[in-house]
Amino acid sequence: MTRGDFETMSEASAAEVFAGGGEVGHDLAAVDWKSTPLGSPQRWPQSLRTAVSILLSSRFPMWMAWGPQLTFFCNAAYRRDTLGRKYPWALGRPASEVWAEIWGDIGPRIETVLTTGQATWDEALLLFVERSGYQEESYHTFSYSPLRDDEGATVGMLCVVSEETERVLGERRMTTLRDLGSDPSAIRTEQQMLSFAAAQLDRNRKDLPFTHIYLFAEDGTARLTTSTGVDQNGRSWPVEAVARGESELVTLDDGQALLVPLLQQGGSPYGFMVAGLNRFRALDESYRGFIELAAGHVAAGIASARSYEAQQRRAEELAELDRAKTAFFSNISHEFRTPLTLIMGPVEDLLDRAGDPETRAELDVIQRNALRLGKLVNTLLDFSRIEAGRMQARYEPVDLSAATAELASVFESAVERAGLTFKVDCPPLPEPVLLDRGMWEKVILNLLSNALKFTFTGGIRVTVRAEGDAAVVTVADTGIGVPEAELPRLFERFHRIENAQSRSNEGSGIGLALVKELVEQHGGTIRADSTLGEGATFTIRLRFGAEHLPASAIVPAGSAAPVSPAADPYVQEALRWLPDGGGEDGTPTPRQATHARARLLVADDNADMRDYLTRLLRSAGHNVEAVADGRAALEAARAQNPDLIISDVMMPRLDGLQLVAALRGDSRTASTPVLLLSARAGQEASIEGLEAGADDYLVKPFSSAELLARVRANVELARLRNHHARWRTALIDSLQEAFFVCDEAGAVIEINPTFTEILGYGPEQLPYAPVHPWWPDPASDPDGYRQVEEAFALLVDQTHGSYTIPVTHRDGHVLWVAASFNQVEDPDTGRRVIVGTFRDVTAEHYAVQREGALAALSLRLSEAESLPGTLPAVLEELRGLWQAAEVSAAVFTGAGVPVVTTATDTALRWEGLPEDQRQRLLAVRDKALLTPVAEESGGAGIALEHPDGTMALWVQLGENRPFTEQDRTLLALLAGHLGQGLHRLHQIDQQRETALALQRAILGPAQLPAGFAVRYSPATRPLKVGGDWYDTIALPDQRIGIVVGDCVGHGLQAATVMGQLRSACRALLLQNIDPAQTLTALDRFAVQLPGAMCATVFCAVLDPGTGDLAYASAGHPPAVVTHPDGTIDLLDQGRSRPLGVRSAIERPEARYTVPSRATLLLYTDGLVERRRRPLTAGIERVAGTIQRGRGAALEELATEVMESMAPEGGYDDDVALLLYRQPGPLELDFPAESTRLATVRSALRGWLARAGIDPTTAQNVLVATGEACANAIEHGHRHGPAGWISLRAAATADYLRLTVTDSGRWKTPRPAENPHRGRGLTLMRALMTEVTVTTGAAGTVVGLQARIPR
Amino acid sequence: MSTVLSFATSRDADGATVLAVTGEVDMSNAAEFSAALDGALSEAGAGPVVVDLSRVEYIDSAGLAVVFPHVDRVRLVASELLAPLLTVVGLDDVTSVRS
């Protein structure tokens, strides 16, 4: 097809050039194209129209440049994302003008594409563009690929681009925010925190060229704490707005700064942050938001540091207080005893002596109160002793019943005076109990005193029993009882039950605590049981035997001592409470519960227990939800996380320990506190619970008060702790990248909302154990599955890494994510976990894939040598790209049967296709060109222009593979390129065929003179003909003209020039003009013949009789002569410039005589020229080849040279080669008559002389040949009329080869029959090195070979 | 063109009959050579005949075949050029080489 045909074709559809381009197409149509170098669209080449059509039909942002000025085109997506205000001004303008401000960056890249034809690829390249009215920092990922015209020359480029500015900025800012929140150390001081924050801010100078953090002092002045970036030289800032908590934009000489307050919750700002602004970015919402978030981080850090400092101070104060208390107890108690003793002694004396009843009564008061004070001091002293481990107990075997009954009797009168019954039931025990009598006294007296104090009706009962291996002592009363809530704290020191009705408001709250300590000193236990309003029972268990007591403290039994005087104060005190004892009443001071309400989750399978706990906890003001097992608890906790979970250990479905493990495995519930309740006592059980991750452990039975106290403590603790966890969760949830945490086995145990957004899998089903549900299906996408498998191995084995893999969204669509991960140690559990993030890179992936596919397709097309061979390879490429089941193409040529090509079955014909497939292809054919048609069933087709007609292409995907929008874009893009490529190949095909035909016609079947061998080889790939030629011309005087030449360039034009030069040269030589003159005449010719300039020619005239050679070379490599002995001569004289190059110097001519049996080689540079190797090296190589082959026949040698010199993969330039060996072979044909023999001999003798053969060898050859000829004449006659005999002789360096051929049949020689005649053959054999006789139906051939002595 | 060949008969100093051959002998003129030799033999009677081939540039097996039947009476004189050939065919014992 010629250019003219294209134009005619184009005009018909010119109006459609911009059709389908929407608004951009419309605006493109409006451009005054005639004033651009591209001219009117009606005359645009097909390649440009195809490129514009691809551009406009793509939804992916693209622009292209075409022609000498790189005229600019773009599509709608590019206009939207990148072009900005430059639209529509940019359309049709030179690209260098459109992108003048970044031409320094992109110009060289475009230049590279245009000169090398190689595509470029840049990822997130920073470019300062002016599209929004200012110089703007922007990032682009783009690829430039070459566009070719109809002749295949690169005339433009296509740019596929994604605007990445938002992503790059977002990532950069997110990094800063993440760094700000990533302080690895524990909480630190305010200044440390600020320094850390400043260091993080300084790492992002692009968004924050400089920053200052100011804090307000008490007096409202601002103090600079940290600075980063450009020094502002102590500039002062307006603080009014930020002090009010508002941001303020300040304009500076060289830019702007944003002042943002560091807000304090519920207070005036801590201070403010000055953030310098990037001059190349507008202060948009996202930028402002970033700075405010950064300031928020700083403010939160200040809050945290200040609160930490305050807590630290408080804790130190408390510790100091505790030390002071201990000092008080251990030291001050002693100090009371001395003054008390000094009061008691004199008072007793005075009482003895006093007669006056009034004085006596007053002295009684003093003594009673002194006793009470003494009792209190003694008790305190006991405590400090016990605490300091200085209590010196002395355990002696005692009759517990008797001792207890005796102590009880002391109170008998007081109880009776109170109007109460007093029962002492103390039968003798089977064995004594080891007691410290002093301590036991205090135990019983305290209990009795306590009973009397709170009992108003009924009575008091003391019993002693033996139960198993212990003695059990109970002191029971029918008093007011103890509220259930108070029971657990009953034995706490200084704990007093408020509002209790009692005989006295006095009391230190220390008695029962001491009782408990003393009982425990005995290795015993004490328990209080009470029902409010019905009384209380204290039960003491003391074990028999001595095993539970230190042996050193055991003493032998002493005498049964009477009750010590120490009992007196108790009784005295008790009597004082009784009505006639003169009681003192106090008023109760109510107190309010202060703890906060909490949301509690109770899990217990026992309904009664569940109800009890619910009632108890609700009564304490909490919100309670109760469930019956661990599974229900887990679900409830995941639905709404409670403040505390109270769980039984033994439960069906999921027990308490498993529940704790499951809660801890889920990030959302990992920090929810759990209080386990268990009937299993003992340290091991509790350790097991705590190891499982429970926060507290309570053994049944437990008091209600203890439970409530533990609940309160745990809730408060958790609230403190959760403050951090909530901050972390908020941070992770705000990440724009998907975030996940895996355990060691690779199970995903934590994710953020972005994760769910990208993959569709939410936190409800956590944990996600491998194989994760988003892995590709191994059956339909084995390749994707394998990639994910490899990435997963990386994740589990390596400490950090990154990978890009395909994954399947919950809704089934496939996307690509780029993930990176790190191994870290969970600070709470010490376990190794993997923390990772990923983002959706589907768009980028497909862009890269498109680039890759385009590159692969371009490669296929550029490697292609012919149109028919290309299509199967291209279809296979497409099949590989889509992992398609089949890719088929049909070319509809008009009337004929469509030509079918498929990727998998090359032999398939149209008739062999299934009917549905034929229908599909037909349907595609009828659609608009380059418009993908997709089917539900997972296939798509597209129609494109094929040189022979319309080509319908169909890609049949595997089962259930949808054909996505991405796939459509790609298919359209590839089809466009394919169409262009096929047209280009078609043209190349045509050109090559023409050129080859021409070349063959010129080089032709010219009759070579004897003794010459020639070769011509076009360049191998792409198969190109060139301008090399060889020629031999038989001149009238028997001389032979020899020419080898090389025109510049390749293809049709070079071949044409070559033909003309060759003819001219031939004509000149025929006019008997010598070589130098011939070249000079060609110079004049070359100047007028376009393309002939600088052709190189080696021109020679040979006299084959003498070997004399006259030659001249026009810039051509030297001819090579190899002597029979291997010596090499280079014919490098007679040299001058290539044809048409002006010079004042006449072309020289040189003379040389080709020695006998020497080989002359003429060639073009394609034979010897190799990249990066000197030409001389190639000449040496070819000389070596000739040297080694000087013994071979000339044709064989020519073949050998062509083969051995060929580079791997074939010649990349065309090669002409001409070989001549002196003398040429002798060729004689004569009638089989004996009279001819003398003439033949004469001719042979002359030839042998020219071949330089010595006389003896020559004589041998003459005789042997004569015998052969004689035989031929004889046999030729025998069977009919005389035939013809032919004699051939040729020489190599070392051998002579002759053949005598006749048409007769030789008889087997029988020398015995005819001894004289048979001698002929014997003679031949004796004289020659080798003789062969081959007799066939056509005749006999005698071969003679003689070695030529050196 | 037939092969050029000429003969001359004479006596040498010893009285032997000498057949001097000049030219080339091949199958085309071997009969002439045979006739010339027969003439020389009959001329010599019972005496020996010296066949002087020193001016023969070429002789093939047809020519040599003429000599073989008479080797008991014939002595050959040959140039160095022909000597190797005569040796090959076993006539060296009746041949003297003249340089």
What is the dihedral angle through the alpha carbons of A647, A650, A651, A653, rounded to the nearest 10 degrees?
A: 120
Sorting pLDDT into bands at 50, 70 and 90, what band is A500? low
- What is the DSSP code string of A91-160? TTSBHHHHTGGGHHHHHHHHHHHHHH-----EEEEEEEE-SSSS-EEEEEEEEEEEEE-TTS-EEEEEEE
Choose from B61, B70, B79, B86 for mutation: most chain A CBs within 10 A.
Answer: B61
What is the token pair recorded at A762?
């939410």
On the question of pLDDT at A6 being above 60, the answer is no
- Determine the distance in angstroms separating the CA of B90 from the nearest CA of chain A, rounded to an integer: 11
pLDDT given for residue A602 in this prediction: 92
Q: pLDDT for A1060-1069, tens place per residue?
A: 888 888 888 8
Higher pLDDT, A342 or A77: A77
Low-confidence ranges of chain B (pLDDT < 70): 1-3, 99
Mean pLDDT calculated for residue range A874-900: 81
Contact across the interface for B58 and A1315, Cβ inside 8 Å: no
The runs of H, that is alpha helices, within B1-99 are: 30-44, 61-67, 83-88
Beta bridge partners of A476: A461, A537
Sorting pLDDT into bands at 50, 70 and 90, what band is A331? low
Mean pLDDT calculated for residue range A1070-1097: 88
Choose from A1235, A1236, A1237, A1275 for mutation: most chain B CBs within 10 A.
Answer: A1237
Sorting pLDDT into bands at 50, 70 and 90, what band is A462? very high
Mean pLDDT calculated for residue range A1204-1222: 87
Contacts of A1250 (CB under 8 A, 6+ apart): A1105, A1107, A1156, A1222, A1223
On the question of pLDDT at A590 being above 50, the answer is no
Q: Given the structure tokens 């031999």, which residue do they identify?
A: A1032
Contact across the interface for B61 and A1238, Cβ inside 8 Å: no
Q: Name every residue in B having a CB less than 8 A away from some CB of A.
A: 1-4, 24, 26-28, 58, 60-62, 64-65, 68, 81-82, 84-85, 88-89
pLDDT given for residue A680 in this prediction: 61
Contact across the interface for A1266 and B82, Cβ inside 8 Å: no
Mean pLDDT calculated for residue range A736-760: 85
Distance in angstroms (rounded) separating the CA atoms of residues A1138 and A537: 131
| Residue of A880, A1009, A917, A901 whose CA lies nearest to A951 | A901
pLDDT given for residue A825 in this prediction: 82
SS3 A1287: strand
Q: pLDDT for A1262-1282, tens place per residue?
A: 999 999 998 888 876 555 566
* Sheet of strand B95-97: strand arrangement: B5-11, B17-25, B49-59, B74-78, B95-97
On the question of pLDDT at A682 being above 60, the answer is no
On the question of pLDDT at A1203 being above 70, the answer is yes
Which residues in chain A have Cβ-Cβ distances shorter than 8 Å to B26? 1234, 1237-1238, 1241, 1266, 1270
Q: How far apart, in Å, are the Cα atoms of A795 and each of A837, A1072, A1126, A1297? A: 12, 86, 69, 78
Distance in angstroms (rounded) separating the CA atoms of residues A33 and A71: 10
Mean pLDDT calculated for residue range A151-167: 86
Distance in angstroms (rounded) separating the CA atoms of residues A150 and A981: 9
Among A81-90, A240-249, A342-351, A680-689, the least confident range: A680-689
Choose from A1230, A1235, A1261, A1331 for mutation: most chain B CBs within 10 A.
Answer: A1235
- Determine the distance in angstroms separating the CA of A1188 from the nearest CA of chain B, rounded to an integer: 33
On the question of pLDDT at A776 being above 90, the answer is no
On the question of pLDDT at A1343 being above 80, the answer is yes
Which residues in chain A have Cβ-Cβ distances shorter than 8 Å to B99? none
On the question of pLDDT at A463 being above 80, the answer is yes
- Determine the distance in angstroms separating the CA of B13 from the nearest CA of chain A, rounded to an integer: 32
pLDDT given for residue A472 in this prediction: 93
Q: pLDDT for A363-420, tens place per residue?
A: 887 887 787 787 777 777 777 767 666 677 788 888 899 889 888 888 888 888 888 8
On the question of pLDDT at A688 being above 80, the answer is no
pLDDT given for residue A584 in this prediction: 35
Among A172-181, A906-915, A1283-1292, A1313-1322, the least confident range: A1313-1322
pLDDT given for residue A592 in this prediction: 33
Question: What sign does the dihedral A34-A38-A40-A43 (CA atoms) show?
Answer: positive
pLDDT given for residue A1096 in this prediction: 93
pLDDT given for residue A824 in this prediction: 84
Beta bridge partners of A428: none
Mean pLDDT calculated for residue range A434-461: 87
Helix axes A704-734, A607-619, angle to 10 degrees: 80
pLDDT given for residue A390 in this prediction: 63
Which residues in chain B have Cβ-Cβ distances shorter than 8 Å to A1327? 85, 88
pLDDT given for residue A670 in this prediction: 78
pLDDT given for residue A725 in this prediction: 66
Distance in angstroms (rounded) separating the CA atoms of residues A464 and A406: 12
For B58, the closest of A1241, A1255, A1274 (CB atoms) is: A1241
On the question of pLDDT at A342 being above 50, the answer is yes
On the question of pLDDT at A167 being above 90, the answer is no
Distance in angstroms (rounded) separating the CA atoms of residues A329 and A390: 13
Among A157-166, A437-446, A725-734, A1118-1127, the least confident range: A725-734
Sorting pLDDT into bands at 50, 70 and 90, what band is A1249? very high
On the question of pLDDT at A65 being above 80, the answer is yes
| Residue of chain B nearest A1264, judged by CA positions | B60
The interface residues of chain A toward chain B in range 1294-1323, judged by CB-CB distance below 8 A, are: 1315-1317, 1319-1320, 1323
Selection from A537-546, A692-701, A854-863 with the highest mean pLDDT? A537-546
Q: pLDDT for A1101-1123, tens place per residue?
A: 999 989 999 999 999 999 999 99
On the question of pLDDT at A503 being above 70, the answer is no
User: Across all residues in chain A, what is the average pLDDT?
Assistant: 82
pLDDT given for residue A316 in this prediction: 82
Share of chain A above pLDDT 90, in %: 15
- Cβ density class A491-528: b for 16+ within 10 Å, e for less: beeeeebeebebbbeebeebbbbbbbbbbebbbbebbb
- Determine the distance in angstroms separating the CA of B45 from the nearest CA of chain A, rounded to an integer: 25
Distance in angstroms (rounded) separating the CA atoms of residues A644 and A674: 6
Q: Given the structure tokens 């003909």, which residue do they identify?
A: A1025
List the Cα angle A280/A732/A730 in 5-degree steps: 100
Which residues in chain B have Cβ-Cβ distances shorter than 8 Å to A1315? 68
Higher pLDDT, A1297 or A1314: A1297
Chain B within 8 Å of A1349 (Cβ-Cβ)?
no
SS3 A594: coil
